[in-house]
Chains A and B, each alone.
Chain A
């Protein structure tokens, strides 16, 4: 399978703990995106990387959130001092600069976070 993969698929943590999620994009996709999806809603954009550079961050991404893509391949999303409101599905997507028509984003299966 050469799609976008995410790890872990599920994470349960206690309020105040730190968590880190990993995303592996489709090979050779230079663009990577993180979204958050809460129950009954569509995904909301969090941040965007082109290669290793983080080019855009949503206002949804508070100071407790940090994302990295150190070598322009996989990415990590860390949430510090988790709060119950952080409970959501965290989705990663990737796309290729070569798909000039629409730069279609391909999504991973997501990491479901539950903060107790």
Chain B
């Protein structure tokens, strides 16, 4: 079945460091891919999305490229801030489908 695998956390970085959170997926078709973020005490928020191969999603300095050949959707940010500390979830969903499949999440700590 379809699944999403993320790198295990926690990831601890200093402010202004470069961030990569790896995400790979297994899918029988061609889903849309998402990154959600969950700040402490808050609900899941959509961070960015990409709907087809080679699309790049971007938001708030984060970006991820849909790579069909490597079945990956790695999240990157050039310079993290303390306020980026959160749990990040990679996910997939088929357009028009009802179910989003999530990875286990990667916790990010950013130190000042």
Cα A104 to Cα B91 with chains together (Å): 12
Identify which of B4, B89, B95 contacts A102 (C-beta below 8 A).
B95
A28 CB within 8 Å of chain B: no
Q: Are B96 and A107 in contact (CB under 8 A)?
A: no
Q: How far is the CB of B41 from chain A (nearest CB, A)?
A: 8
Q: How far is the CB of B66 from chain A (nearest CB, A)?
A: 12
Q: Are B100 and A105 in contact (CB under 8 A)?
A: yes
Identify which of B42, B51, B93, B98 contacts A31 (C-beta below 8 A).
B98
Q: B90-108, CB under 8 A of A: which get 1 and which 0?
A: 0101011111111111000
A33 CB within 8 Å of chain B: yes
A45 CB within 8 Å of chain B: yes
Which one of B42, B43, B49, B97 has the highest number of Cβ atoms from chain A below 10 Å of its Cβ? B43
Cα A56 to Cα B96 with chains together (Å): 14
Nearest 7 A-B pairs (CB), nearest first? A42-B102, A107-B44, A48-B98, A109-B43, A45-B99, A107-B43, A102-B32
Within 8 A of A (CB), among B61-92: 89, 91
Cα A33 to Cα B98 with chains together (Å): 8
Within 8 A of A (CB), among B24-43: 32, 36, 42-43
Q: Are A108 and B43 in contact (CB under 8 A)?
A: yes
A101 CB within 8 Å of chain B: yes
Cα A42 to Cα B49 with chains together (Å): 17
Q: Which residues of B contact A44 (CB under 8 A)?
A: 102
Q: Are A42 and B103 in contact (CB under 8 A)?
A: yes
Identify which of B46, B97, B102 contacts A43 (C-beta below 8 A).
B102
Q: Are A101 and B43 in contact (CB under 8 A)?
A: no
Q: Are A104 and B95 in contact (CB under 8 A)?
A: no
B59 CB within 8 Å of chain A: no
Cα A40 to Cα B102 with chains together (Å): 12
Q: Are A56 and B46 in contact (CB under 8 A)?
A: no
Q: A36-77, CB under 8 A of B: which get 1 and which 0?
A: 000011111100101000011000000000000000000000
Other than the given A42-B4, A103-B95, 15 more pairs (CB < 8 A) read: A31-B98, A33-B100, A40-B104, A42-B89, A42-B103, A42-B104, A42-B105, A43-B89, A43-B100, A45-B100, A50-B98, A91-B44, A93-B44, A101-B51, A104-B49
